[in-house]
Every structure is written in C-alpha cells, then in structure tokens.
A and B are shown apart, each in its own frame.
Chain A
C-alpha cells in the first residue's frame, strides 16, 4: 500500500505584538506610543495595560489599540501589589507580567515599549532578532565614552541599569520564559529606586539578562533607544523628507524619559544639561512628541485621578505609607486589603493607632514608623520615651505633616 507522501507543513507565521503600560494620568503617553507605533508598523497589534482602574474615564472603543486590565494578569495578591508601589513604580513593576501575558495569549514574540516612547520607523530589526533569540535587550550606551559628560552618564547607567527597560522584547523560548518568571518575582517585591541597594525599579534586574539567558541578543543599534542620555553620542539628523537618522542609521525608537510638555525647553526633568537649544535636530523630535501628547489628550488625562492613590475613605496614600506597608512582614495576613479602612484591624486604623512599640503617648504607628526609618530623626530626637517626644511631636505638626502630605496624627 502506498503511503501518502509526507507534506511539509507550511511555516507557521511568527506572531508578534507590542505593548505599553500607563495609569490614567499618563494615558496620553500610551496613546502617543501606540499611534506612532501603528503608523510605522501597521498590522502588528498594540496593547496598553492600564495600571489603574478606568473609573469610566476611558472608552476602549475609541482607542486604536486593545486595553488589558490588571485583573487579566493574575497578579499575586493584587491589593498588596498595587498598594506597596507608587503610581510610577506600579507601572514599571508590571512590565514582566504584561510581556508574559502576551506570550500566554497567542503571540510568539512581545515587544515592550515604555510610555514616553515615539516610534519613527518600522521595527524589522527587532522582530528579526526576536525570531532567533529568547530575549532582545538594548543597552543605554554603545560607545566607550570620552570626556566628563560621558563619564557622568556612564556612572548614571551603572546605577540605573545597563539595558534600557523601555525597549525590551521576549519570545516564547524556555530561556526567556524562565527569565520572565524570575523578573516577575523580583518586581513583585523590589521595584524601587534604592541606589545604595543596587535597585533601580524594574530596570536593574535586566543586567542579569546576559547572565541568565545565554541565547539573548544585545541589540546595539544606534537608531533604537535614542534618548536624552545618549544624545551626546548619537547625532540625530532629519532629512528634508522628514526621515530621521541617528549616527547615520534610521532612528526607529526615540525615548522621552522625564519629558514634561509643560517645560518644553528641557529634554527631561532628569537632565538639565540638554535643553532644546543644545539638542540640535533632536529638538524636532521633542516637538513632534509634544504634539502627539497634546493630540492624545494630555491636558485632559493628566488630571485623571489614580485609583490606587487613596484609601477607600478618600485619604491619600503617601509614598512613605506604601513603604511602611511593603516592609511589614505578613502585612497581607494581618491587615487584609490595605486600601480598606472599615475594619478595626485595617492597615489604616493601625497607622493611626498609638504606637505599638514603646510607651509613646501621642505618637501613632505611622509617625513612629517614620521616625524609625529616618536616621536624621533618630539622631535629632534620640530616645522618644524621654522628653524628646514633645520635640518630635512639634516636628510632626510643623514639618512632618507638610513633608509627607498626610493626615494629622
């Protein structure tokens, strides 16, 4: 009997997607990133993860991209996750969760573009490498630097991370998956800025990519990840037909970390040196980006409230409160949902209760926690069980409340 000849299967297309993350107040940034991406990469789906709750302010049908909600990610202890981080920290911490979500939902490759990004060309070089490698990362700096400016930026990069967390891509290979699992674990608890501990949000963890992912690809393309931190090395030019190059190659991704449309003369709040009059042709990119933000409703969305910015009684959650909660061992078991204030056992009630440690009438757990975390206060007031407590209480009323923007004790 003749067997049917074996017919080779047609190669399965390599399905890719791109995505970003933003809270409501930064939603115009997500729109700018998405619009510029879709203009140059039509046919590739774009997703935006809302690191917030929409509270009826975002209409998914009017966005040119798909919206992913936090509940779709399967976050471990979502309330804890969202409470422990500030608005920006939460957006950053979700990066590996979003990438994994896309890989789990039918895509072979996922490109993450951080908010504050403008895409200026098709991203073929990234997709090409993503087919062959589990992870594609992009370094902040590509040339050994000369001069004081280069030295300053290299030191900055040593502290912030060798690879830019604003452009990173994963495919579904095991090595990449394994790294994502590890990265998720790291950002679920340690997505902070703490240079003295070697932490810089989600980004410094990417330094481990070459270590943990032998097949990774370090994409050293001067046209990708052009930003205020490397403009001194990457000469940007704009041709009469509007095409943008960096170091003579197509400028595909321009990043605007720290750019403030209200302060358009400055490239970034993190960089006072590069002003528009010193940015050369790159100044046009900032102007284009500013227009994109305005078109994307920046003036409106910037005023949208952050759903995780307050307790359920409306009291603002200060950053220091988030850190106190984060550092509390077993906070979930003891307090339950940290946003909730109704229960006598809630975190909110605990913050406002008399300090548990020591005999400190007049000092709440919140202020006692602040005191214990700050060497300057420890040094200034010494032992709070003594007469110093009165001085500390005065400091709370005259300085502490303003400094932390919190409720009265």
Chain B
C-alpha cells in the first residue's frame, strides 16, 4: 500500500474534537500521518496540550482568506466546503491515498482494512444504510436519506488516479458556490453532491464493512436490528444518542471489532471523556 494521510477539518471552537479524534486515531494507527485543517482566518496560539498536532492553515491550501474564498458561508459551510480542498492537498502530499474523517469521530481500532480498500479505488464512500428492511423506523430513515444524501460524507477516501483529480476538482467547484443546507431544494452541504458519484466516477467503491463504518446512521441500524443494550436511539439518523459510558466496542456483536464511533455533539464527547483516558476534552470542555 502506498502512502496514506488522514485528515479532518475544524473551527477553533471545536478544536478539542479534532484532538480527540487525532489521539484515538494515533493510538490505533501510529504510523499514519494525521492532519488537522483549521477553518479559520484568525491567528491561533497552540498550547502544550496540542503536542504533535499537524495543524494546517488555509494558507497551506493556497487561500489568502476563507472569507473571500467562501463569501456568505457560515462556519459549518466553510468547514464542509474545505473538504475536497483538504483531500486534494493530502493526496498530493501522500502520493498514494488520502482519507477525510469528520471531527466528531472516535477511532477505536486499526483502520488498515479500510485504508486497503481506499488505496484500490478512485473514490470510496460509505452508504448510510446497507439493506432493505420493513420497519416504520426504517421508512422514516429512508425518507431522511432522500433529503440528506445516500452516502455519509463523514468518511471519504481517495487515491491517486486521473478520475479522482477530476472528481475533486468538480467537488471543489460545487462546494465553493453551492455548499448549502436547503434540503427542500435538493441540497445538503457537501453530502448530496456525493450522490452523483456513481455516475461521475467509474472506479467508485462502496465501503460496506460494518465493522469500519459505524457512523451515525449505521449505529442507529445496529441498535434497532440487534437490540444491543449499549445503544439507545431516536428516529433521526442525525439525532441518535449513545449511552457512551458503557460503550465497549467488542460487545457490538454485529460489528465484530468496532473501528469508528461517531459522535454528534460535543456534549457526548465530554461524556465519553469522563469514562476514558482521553484528557483533552476534560480540560478544554
């Protein structure tokens, strides 16, 4: 497998999210570089707590000003719109593959199986759900996915191929002008644009390994399908709640080894930190 670099994007107010992700990622993937892109034009002074952090600034990606680059975007839009720019930057640096992980993720095992898949394809995405089921909850979820997108943009993998660069160039252009959250008009930030990928990318790979994709929607599925006692759920794929204090990945029977747990709010991350050795959040939170 050629080189691979992993990265995330945050604004300064949620930098602790990236730090938790980085710490958990490095614990299980010590040999793989992890970068954090700070989506801010403001100067930031890092403290000793940020040791080992490879912090990228927008200038490293060639932007004089994010405000000028994305006029009218709020913080979230800016963070999301930077995704293909970061992937392109990481891909150039690695010469092999690059992976984006949303900052609200905790890595709980080696991601090598995932990276092996990424290296073999132009673009790798992970569907929110994986099979048909006939339950009212599932019907609600399917309707939501029609609005927010088929694939979870919290994980995107790319490798060095001609069509990858074409796709990233296109995605950059679309997110520069249309990274909008207007589901009634067919937009949902970067994520709905990914729905076009099956047409635009010939070598598109769907990561279906449930052990490496317990992202938001998938966790929700597990909780309802397997009755895992450690999870509770709501009916929204973006609003599920995890009783994080009792998470023991090995106990997620259907998942085998859980490699990624995704959180949806800082509060849940704080809860997690109280029960783990993860120190960053306790101090910053």
Q: Could you tell me which A residues sit within 8 Å of B by CB distance?
A: 139-146, 151, 154-155, 157-159, 162-163, 178-179, 181-182, 185, 195-199, 204, 207-208, 210-212, 214, 218, 220
A181 partner residues in chain B, CB cutoff 8 A:
132
* Separation of A197 and B132 alpha carbons in the complex (Å): 20
Contact B132 A220 (CB under 8 A): no
* Separation of A157 and B198 alpha carbons in the complex (Å): 12
Contact A198 B131 (CB under 8 A): no
A141 partner residues in chain B, CB cutoff 8 A:
196, 199-200
* Separation of A141 and B170 alpha carbons in the complex (Å): 13
Contact B199 A142 (CB under 8 A): yes
Q: How far is the CB of B166 from chain A (nearest CB, A)?
A: 5
Contact of B198 among A178, A182, A210 (CB under 8 A): A210
Contact B127 A195 (CB under 8 A): no
B173 partner residues in chain A, CB cutoff 8 A:
146
B200 partner residues in chain A, CB cutoff 8 A:
139, 141-144
* Separation of A281 and B16 alpha carbons in the complex (Å): 59
* Separation of A178 and B128 alpha carbons in the complex (Å): 18
* Separation of A258 and B248 alpha carbons in the complex (Å): 55
Interface size class of B (residues with CB under 8 A): 35 or more
Contact A139 B185 (CB under 8 A): no
Going nearest first, the 6 A-B pairs with the smallest beta carbon separation are A139-B199, A198-B146, A144-B170, A182-B132, A211-B127, A196-B184
The A interface, classified by DSSP as helix, strand, loop or mixed, is helix
Contact A208 B196 (CB under 8 A): no
A159 partner residues in chain B, CB cutoff 8 A:
185-186
Contact A211 B129 (CB under 8 A): yes
Q: Which of B39-87 contact A (CB under 8 A)?
A: none
Contact B199 A218 (CB under 8 A): yes
B183 partner residues in chain A, CB cutoff 8 A:
196, 198
* Separation of A211 and B173 alpha carbons in the complex (Å): 26
B274 partner residues in chain A, CB cutoff 8 A:
none
B186 partner residues in chain A, CB cutoff 8 A:
155, 158-159, 195, 198
Contact B130 A195 (CB under 8 A): no
Q: List 21 A-B contacts (CB under 8 A).
A: A139-B199, A141-B200, A151-B177, A157-B196, A158-B187, A158-B193, A159-B186, A162-B196, A163-B199, A178-B132, A182-B134, A185-B134, A195-B185, A197-B143, A198-B143, A198-B186, A207-B150, A210-B127, A212-B131, A218-B204, A220-B202
B202 partner residues in chain A, CB cutoff 8 A:
220
Q: Which of B113-153 contact A (CB under 8 A)?
A: 127-132, 134, 142-143, 145-147, 150
A140 partner residues in chain B, CB cutoff 8 A:
199
* Separation of A198 and B193 alpha carbons in the complex (Å): 14
* Separation of A159 and B58 alpha carbons in the complex (Å): 32
* Separation of A211 and B138 alpha carbons in the complex (Å): 14
* Separation of A144 and B184 alpha carbons in the complex (Å): 24
A220 partner residues in chain B, CB cutoff 8 A:
199, 202
* Separation of A139 and B202 alpha carbons in the complex (Å): 11
Contact A158 B199 (CB under 8 A): no
* Separation of A159 and B185 alpha carbons in the complex (Å): 8
* Separation of A155 and B184 alpha carbons in the complex (Å): 12
* Separation of A3 and B142 alpha carbons in the complex (Å): 56
Contact A179 B150 (CB under 8 A): no
What is the chain A residue whose CB lies nearest that of B133? A182
* Separation of A83 and B68 alpha carbons in the complex (Å): 54
* Separation of A211 and B125 alpha carbons in the complex (Å): 11
* Separation of A154 and B150 alpha carbons in the complex (Å): 16
A198 partner residues in chain B, CB cutoff 8 A:
143, 146-147, 183, 186
- 12 extra interface residue pairs, beta carbon distance < 8 Å, beyond A198-B146, A210-B206: A142-B199, A143-B200, A151-B177, A154-B196, A158-B192, A162-B196, A196-B183, A208-B145, A211-B128, A211-B206, A214-B206, A220-B202
Contact B130 A211 (CB under 8 A): yes
> Is B167's CB within 8 Å of the partner chain A?
yes
B174 partner residues in chain A, CB cutoff 8 A:
151, 154
* Separation of A178 and B131 alpha carbons in the complex (Å): 9
Q: How far is the CB of B84 from chain A (nearest CB, A)?
A: 11
A142 partner residues in chain B, CB cutoff 8 A:
199-200
B284 partner residues in chain A, CB cutoff 8 A:
none
Q: How far is the CB of B127 from chain A (nearest CB, A)?
A: 4
> Is B253's CB within 8 Å of the partner chain A?
no
* Separation of A182 and B128 alpha carbons in the complex (Å): 17
Q: How far is the CB of A155 from chain B (nearest CB, A)?
A: 6
* Separation of A178 and B127 alpha carbons in the complex (Å): 18
Contact bitstring B155-180, A, C-beta under 8 A = 1, else 0: 00000000000110110011001100
Contact B198 A218 (CB under 8 A): yes
A162 partner residues in chain B, CB cutoff 8 A:
195-196, 198-199
B27 partner residues in chain A, CB cutoff 8 A:
none
